[in-house]
Amino acid sequence: MLSEGMLADVIIVDSDPLQDVRVLNNRKMLSTVISKGKEVDLTQDWPERAVFPGEKVGVWSTRPLTQDVANELK
């Protein structure tokens, strides 16, 4: 539940991520982003992402996770 005066991270997209989760990785599909309770100016360049100490990132899948793929796993 969102409440005025509270911190929140919210992403509003122009498509249904349940149909194709890749929409969350497409900046052109982002309608609104709220980070830590403040709206992000999507017209500005995105900041570089800094890796935090001890972080391990890897590619674990050979295909994107879509609703159809998730349904196959049920």
pTM for this predicted structure:
0.54
Note the pLDDT tens digit of each residue in 53-64: 877 767 677 777
Report pLDDT for 13.
92
Helix/strand/coil for 14: coil
Report pLDDT for 57.
67
Report pLDDT for 32.
92
Which segments of the chain are extended strands (E)? Answer: 10-13, 30-35, 38-39
Sign of CA dihedral 18, 23, 68, 9: negative
